Amino acid sequence: MPYNKQRGFSLIELMVTVAIVALLMGIAYPSYLEQVRASKRSECTGGLTALGNAMERHHTVNGSYLGAGPGGAATGAPDIFPTSCPIDGGDPTYNLTISAATATTYTLQAAPVGSQVNDDCGTLTLTNTGIKGVTGATAGFDWERCWK
């Protein structure tokens, strides 16, 4: 009977392959998660800007930024716009609020919730003059990239 040599992988070859895959995943997966966070953040910066546009329409109609909040209040979740991002529905990633409003000024906030809670940018802010900022960002983090 002829000798049949079996072909396959040795345990060493298999372990080397597993180690290489684990190393690649250790590098790639955190980068992937950061890209997902950045994508959701970008979507909400657009939503926050759209809320600013809704505030401007409210001001044009009413002559004041007051009254855009719940029950005509100056602060809180907006009555004139969706209260969370993404604005077209889905799992909320940011809660949109009017943090301060007067007859002539406003400040809006987008606070991270759910899968965005660990985002380095913290809470995004926008004023009636178009000043963009963040609060609660990780120390030493370049907050300007949060709005890009």
What pLDDT sits at residue 1? Answer: 57
What CA–CA distance (Å, rounded) separates 66 from 17?
Answer: 62
Site of tokens 């926050």: 48
What pLDDT sits at residue 136? Answer: 86
CA angle 102-64-126, nearest 5°? 55
Judge whether 61 and 84 are in contact, CB under 8 Å. no
Dmax of the chain from CA atoms?
98
Judge whether 112 and 37 are in contact, CB under 8 Å. no
What pLDDT sits at residue 3? Answer: 67
Mean pLDDT by 10 residues, the chain (148 residues): 71 92 91 91 94 95 92 89 92 95 95 91 94 87 81
What pLDDT sits at residue 138? Answer: 81
- DSSP-derived secondary structure letter, 145: G
Q: Alpha carbon 107 to chain centroid distance?
A: 18
pTM for the predicted model, two decimal places:
0.81
Task: Tell me the domain boundaries of the chain.
Answer: 11-147
What CA–CA distance (Å, rounded) separates 55 from 47?
Answer: 12
